[in-house]
């Protein structure tokens, strides 16, 4: 069974902002560690090296991509444990990302926002972030990691329709 996409889009002057939310039955500090500590990001996204902190640039390995390339990411904002802002520019283009966390009654809601996505790219980018957030969930739960083939191209139509319905 293919996983169900959950993303939403908001039109902006730069294109659209893609927002995808997941909720974890865990305290905010633990979820924050899952997205900021290299040993933990290695399990679902890839390890990173460098000096953490706003204004610094780190190197991140895209461990689950073909050839596991390394890319530079700038930490634009870091307000533990609620907000992380990142940007990167490489052969795939320039991307700006934000992750917001909010804890309520011991559960933490994580919202990933990919800022300024060109509307025509949403059908490719959306399934990728759905995959990575489910990778995060599986790594946290200690369950088998999902297969990207279950996300792309099967979720592309969902995201193409979202972009078309923005008007």
Task: Report the mean per-residue pLDDT for the chain.
Answer: 95
- Which pLDDT value is given to residue 125? 96
User: Residue 61: is its pLDDT beyond 90?
Assistant: yes
What tokens does 115 get?
Answer: 């800022």
Percent of the chain predicted with pLDDT > 90? 91
Per-residue confidence (pLDDT) for residue 93, from 0 to 100: 78
Average pLDDT on 139-164 reads 97
pLDDT of residue 81 exceeding 80: yes
Strands (E), 62-92: 70-79, 83-90
Specify whether the CB–CB gap between 87 and 74 falls below 8 A: yes
CATH 3.30.530.20 assigned to 8-164 = yes
User: And the tokens for 46?
Assistant: 């890839």
What interhelical angle do 156-164 and 122-141 show, nearest 10?
130
pLDDT in tens, 112-135: 999 999 999 999 999 999 999 999
Report the length, in residues, of the chain: 167
Q: How confident is the model at residue 15 (pLDDT cuts 50, 70, 90)?
A: confident
d(CA 90, CA 25): 35
Q: How confident is the model at residue 167 (pLDDT cuts 50, 70, 90)?
A: low
Residue extents of the structural domains in the chain: 8-164
pLDDT score for 1: 65
Q: Are the C-beta atoms of residues 111 and 63 closer than 8 Å to each other? A: no
């Amino acid at each position: 069974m293919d996983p169900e996409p959950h993303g939403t889009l908001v039109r902006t002057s730069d294109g659209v902002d893609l927002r995808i939310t997941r909720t974890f039955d865990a305290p905010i500090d633990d979820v924050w560690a899952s997205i900021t500590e290299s040993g933990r990001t290695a399990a679902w996204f890839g390890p990173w090296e460098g000096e953490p902190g706003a204004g610094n640039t780190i190197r991140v390995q895209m461990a689950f991509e073909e050839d596991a390339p390394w890319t530079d990411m700038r930490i634009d904002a870091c307000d533990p444990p609620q907000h992380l802002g990142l940007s990167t520019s490489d052969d795939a283009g320039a991307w700006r990302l934000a992750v917001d966390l909010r804890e309520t009654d011991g559960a933490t809601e994580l919202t990933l926002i990919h800022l300024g996505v060109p509307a025509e790219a949403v059908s490719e980018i959306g399934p990728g972030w759905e995959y990575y957030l489910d990778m995060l969930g599986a790594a946290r739960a200690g369950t088998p990691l999902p297969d990207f083939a279950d996300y792309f191209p099967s979720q592309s139509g969902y995201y193409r329709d979202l972009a078309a319905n923005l008007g």
